[in-house]
Each structure stands twice: as structure tokens, then as C-alpha cells.
Homo-oligomer: A and B are copies of this chain.
């Protein structure tokens, strides 16, 4: 079941409103055109607003249409009704487009736009890109839905992406996202054979699974949220294999806990790695590199270099290419880091993000060069 929202909008020369094109004309025309699809429309309410006019039309079947005029030269039309799974839409997208075109042509409006019908209900289908554009996913099932002490965890099924992990209502990784893991680890570029590796986060198990194929000496993974691993082990085996089945094996260990605590323990013990993977939070989208998350990012970077061998690498994901300001802020933090580091970056289109994503490889500047 869903509440269907059919949204149209129009723009016109603002001087035409109230004059050549009266509100009444448009409401009358909307009503006439809508009646091709929805019968029995009646205006039940209208009001003047600070910047225009609003009117509500009601039709049998509880189809409620709101028409709003903005004196700045915009009109929005929102049609909303309940639709059971088995019911046909009361107005199709094709009909919405017809309605839009006939209004634009009849009223000589500058521009019209119709959105595909939004389906609002118990299955979340709408997720944002990094730059907060809306993307509707072809999600047809919720397979797992629990709240852990740390976050809301869902596994949903997408027709095109397979099962997808959703954390706090943000798309995280899908079965179609091998490219994400391969770009994060730079498969074919980096050599992991016989290396010591530490993963910070990585609860979906995909990175651990792919790294183990490269025959490293040992991987330790520090993940705080047991429930994420439970969910992925049940529904995401095509990307994590069976690595989440057990906590310890000859060549890997999964430690459940706060990665900062364990990093500090490793620092004290003098334990060193060839690679540390930051598979934690994304680079935040913010105006300044301040606040709790940025502090966390800086501490993670500093601590990681304390457990990295001199030529060790810190590998991490950044954010979408659509957020150059945030990526720049992250690079600024890298510039200021002690020890002095260099970085390279690369990017890949990640299917479940529906956009190009940036990944960083950070390495200590050799002592000799740093002192110059």
C-alpha cells in the first residue's frame, strides 16, 4: 500500500498572474483536464497566502488535489490518494504528462514539469545522492529491519542491485557493488600477499572477503556493530561469502568493539600494519571541517599512522564527486596531518550510490623527503 503523490509544476511570467492568466482560469482548466481522469472534483477550500493563493479540490475516492500559486511565477499541483497494492493508479504518469502539456499549451505557460508518481509508504524507496538529489530505487522488499545500539539497520531487496544494506536510512552497500570494494582496495594495483592488514569498520564483510582472496598474512577487523554483521551474514553472502560466520580463523580475526579503543591498544603494544582501511563514516557534508565527526576523522587518521609501518598505507572512501567542497576539506585535513603524508585518489561509479565515488590512498612522506 502507498500514498501516491502526483506532482506537477509550472512557471509563467509573474506579471501574467491575476491579469491575463487569472487564478480562476487556471483552477478551472486544471479541474477540466483533471476530470478526464478523476471525476467529481469539487473545490472544498481556498485561501490567500502571503505569496499567492492555495486551493484544495476533493474528489470521490479521496483524491485530494492542492493547487498553489506563487506570485513569483510558479504554480504547483499536488494530487494525493491512497492506493492498495492491487489497485491501478488513478492517474498514470503518461496521463500526468498529457495534463501538463495541455495546461502549458492552453495557458501558454513558460514551462511545465511532471514527476513520476511518488509512492509513499512502509517500504523506503527514496534515497539521497551525496549532493542530496532524490533517487527512487526499485526496492520491493524489506528483508531485515532492526535498531542496534548504534544505528538503524535494514536489508532491502532492489530488483536491479540485489540485496542492499541501509544504515540510518542511507544506502550503504549492495550486492551489485563489487566495484566499491575493488576500488577501495585498489585491486590489481596494491599487493596484499603476506601483508598485515587492519580494517576499521567494514561490518558488511565485503572488504574482508575480497582481501582474503589476495592471501594476506593476517587481517584484523574492528567493527562496533554486531547486528550489522548478523544481517549481512544472513542476506549479503554474495559479497561477504562466509567470512562473517566465525570470529577467528588462521588468517583473520573480527573484533567487536570500538575501533579507537583497539587502535590505542595496538599503539601501546607496538603492533604494526602494512595497510589500515578506514571503512567507517563518509566524509561529512558540512560547511566547515568542525564538529564531532570531523574530530573523529582526524583522530582516526592520526591513530592509523601510529599503527602503520613507515611505508604502510591508509586506504579509505571519501564521498561523491558531486561534493568537491567536502572532498577538499578532507584533503586539507590530510595536508595538516602529523606525520606528513601524501595521498593519491581514484574514483568509480558505485551502482547503489548511483554516482561516482572518490577513494583515497594516504602514505607517509619518507623521513628524508619530509625533512627537506
Contacts and interface: CB of A to CB of B under 8 A. Distances in A.
B122 A133 contact: no
Nearest to A81: B51
A54 B82 CA distance: 13
Interface stretch (A134-142, A185-193, A244-252): A134-142
Contacts of A299: none
Contact of A120 (B74, B80, B116, B131): B74
A160 B82 contact: no
A interface, size bucket: 35 or more
A72 B56 CA distance: 22
Contacts of A3: 9, 68, 70, 74, 76
Given A11-B121, A356-B160, A62 B49 contact: yes
Given A3-B76, A47-B45, A160-B356, A124 B136 contact: no
A293 interface: no
Interface in A76-127: 76, 78, 80, 82, 84, 93, 97, 110-111, 113-118, 120-122, 124-126
A158 to B, nearest CB: 10
B122 A159 contact: no
Q: How many copies does the complex hold?
A: 2
Contacts of A72: 1, 82, 84
A128 interface: yes
A172 to B, nearest CB: 16
Contacts of A1: 72-74
A134 B116 contact: yes
Interface of A: 1-3, 5, 7, 9, 11, 44-45, 47, 49-52, 54, 56, 58, 60-62, 64, 66, 68, 70, 72-74, 76, 78, 80, 82, 84, 93, 97, 110-111, 113-118, 120-122, 124-126, 128-129, 131-138, 159-160, 169, 321-322, 349, 351, 354-356
